[in-house]
Chains A and B, each alone.
Chain A
């Protein structure tokens, strides 16, 4: 086995960002959506050593316990430089800046710890239309030796030019996991928490995701948002921290980011369970004051089911 690599240098993210900014300029955007996306182009890392200080900073920002356990979203952070690189390859059809994270599905097949040295691989696939434009999946996989331990599908929307000034659609047409119509039982009293004003900058610092829509109202305005909005991956991590002590080793979590969550925010998490499927929990993040649905999601316990891990190669 080769020597573990240190976590990816911020420089590589900065380079991808710079490339992304250039390709996001109006002239460059003409080519949007025309190239043929190559699903075979896979970017990989060697075994990645985990930096404990950075992990602890991530855990703090996301409301997780500082511990040896890698929150599933931390692998997204580890894979982020590759994702950025993939999204700035010549065949990638969209400008990087202004892309909106609409759905994120994470499958953890094994709990990883600080001592593990995961290898990451990223590819892009499933370019397809969305009511507001076009969307594409960035798929990241983590392996320990040859075993697939974690898979994530991040779906990004590139809003079409006509809709550029419009908000998110009420109901994205292809949301893969709408709660089924089976009877739902409300569970728990709801968990209210604050989305801090500076969380975009703080999450950007630990994740390297410095998309301007998250950093400040001024930079977000350039992309049509009146205020900075929370990172989708921060929201997913913060929502998972509400399940501290209740997460099995194997699970799938899926978040659909329905509406931007402006900073600062005051939100609550509502949990329901389908009466017939005890291994599933559905949740919904709402604005505390207006009750608007901001995120819907699902948490599926896979430690109980015999089903093979999703995305098993």
Chain B
């Protein structure tokens, strides 16, 4: 089937805010609507009917089942713009970029917005399972005695609310505890992690200083920059922090400084065909090339090779093979910093001959990368990580980096809860 090129026209996000801070009173819909409206304002899309808007949130109230469509209706886009919600944990908005780009490629849409939003501060709180069961039984009851009997089963302890947790449902371990196992198995040191974390903060601060984000970020509720950013972050200061994950181990290495904090925020990317962009005199920053997803058996699999956040390690070689590329054929690498150790374990795996042979089926490892091309304007350790917003943040950032350079190719790698990974390639247009 002949396909068309999907191009990245631009992006917009609100500054990311540490949880229970500046955006404590804002809902997912508030943040997504503001982000869409910022994108609309930046590219003059008021009243425009787009092919579709695809977005999602990881932490979502049940009433927000139509979050994206509701946000479109409240935005300045034409109300005739269709929308739908998706959810793939931290891979959500990279997946939404893939979906929009694919529809454009096969001719089912000429334009679209891919986005994501998350709030930890305005998290949904549910009733306990015991109370929920009792209320549903009472609702099913056909007469008063049966209803009273159902309600009588309610115990005081049922009244405690059920708050969402970031533990994996099948293992009961938090993402940090999972990563702590992977970190040790791959022998990632504290020093390496703190160096990566410091670089993330320094790179993000430098990018803000030179105005790189001026056309990527719209202020929101008084924030103009990500408030997790610590421009003065250094390896020495990070070394002072106490470990927070893997504390049962002899030498735990993961701290609050080299792990991503809980964050609120939203990000969006505008995609279209070259013709659609040209008709509206819009810029073309980059073209979407290809994407791949992978998953690992983090529950029963190998402690080293099947870590919860290791799925991108498997997705990237498949993506490279399909596109006839090597790992060294990239000018920029955007590897999501769920934890500094996630990035380092990913890079270590690609250089490990045994792992590459046994698990990736490669005669030779993918090899190392030029670290000066990694997360050059900072990543999630510095910006923070509103789960579903991270992919769109990265795509817009990378597209602008490629556009500024005028040539080249970038690789995106995002790990996600549930042992999944979403990776993609974009090139300067």
Residues of A near any B CB (own CB < 8 A):
52-53, 56-57, 60, 65-68, 114-115, 244-245
Contact = CB atoms under 8 A, between A and B. Distances in A.
B222 A52 contact: yes
Contacts of B222: 52, 68, 114-115
Interface residues of B, number: 18
A53 B34 CA distance: 17
Chain B interface mostly helix, strand, loop or mixed? loop
A-B residue pairs, 6 tightest by C-beta: A56-B25, A66-B30, A244-B74, A245-B74, A66-B26, A65-B30
B73 A245 contact: yes
Given A244-B74, A245-B75, A245-B79, A65 B220 contact: no
B68 to A, nearest CB: 14
B160 to A, nearest CB: 25
Contacts of A67: 26, 30, 33-34, 220-221
Given A57-B25, A114-B221, A114-B222, A245 B76 contact: yes
A60 B27 CA distance: 10
28 contacts: A52-B22, A56-B25, A56-B26, A56-B221, A65-B29, A65-B33, A65-B34, A65-B74, A66-B27, A66-B30, A67-B26, A67-B33, A67-B34, A67-B221, A68-B34, A68-B219, A68-B220, A68-B221, A114-B221, A115-B219, A244-B73, A244-B74, A245-B33, A245-B73, A245-B74, A245-B76, A245-B77, A245-B79
A12 B174 CA distance: 51
A210 to B, nearest CB: 23
Nearest to B73: A245
Interface string B1-31: 0000000000000000000001001110110
Interface of B: 22, 25-27, 29-30, 33-34, 73-77, 79, 219-222
Nearest to B70: A244
B74 A66 contact: no
Contacts of B221: 52, 56, 66-68, 114
B352 to A, nearest CB: 48
Contacts of A57: 25
- Determine which residue in B27, B33, B34, B221 has the highest number of CB atoms from chain A within 10 A of its CB, and name it: B221
B30 A53 contact: no
Contacts of A68: 34, 219-222
B413 to A, nearest CB: 33
B74 A60 contact: no
Contacts of A65: 29-30, 33-34, 74
A79 to B, nearest CB: 22
Given A52-B22, A68-B219, 6 more contacts: A53-B25, A66-B26, A67-B26, A68-B220, A115-B222, A245-B74
Contacts of A114: 221-222
A206 B172 CA distance: 42
A15 to B, nearest CB: 29
A60 B26 CA distance: 9
Nearest to B76: A245
A60 B34 contact: no
Contacts of A115: 219, 222
Contacts of B25: 53, 56-57, 60, 66
Nearest to B220: A68
Nearest to B33: A65
A115 B76 CA distance: 21
Contacts of A60: 25
A244 B79 CA distance: 11
Contacts of B29: 65
Contacts of A244: 73-74
A42 B79 CA distance: 43
A52 B25 CA distance: 10
Contacts of B26: 56, 66-67
A65 B76 CA distance: 13
Contacts of A245: 33, 73-77, 79
Contacts of B27: 66
Contacts of B33: 65, 67, 245
A293 B4 CA distance: 55
A161 B287 CA distance: 75
B222 to A, nearest CB: 5
Nearest to A53: B25
B119 to A, nearest CB: 11
Nearest to A246: B79
Nearest to A245: B74
Nearest to B29: A65
A125 to B, nearest CB: 36
Contacts of B79: 245
Nearest to A113: B219
A52 B30 CA distance: 14
Contacts of B73: 244-245
B34 to A, nearest CB: 5
A98 B221 CA distance: 37
A245 B34 CA distance: 11
Contacts of A53: 25
Contacts of A56: 25-26, 221
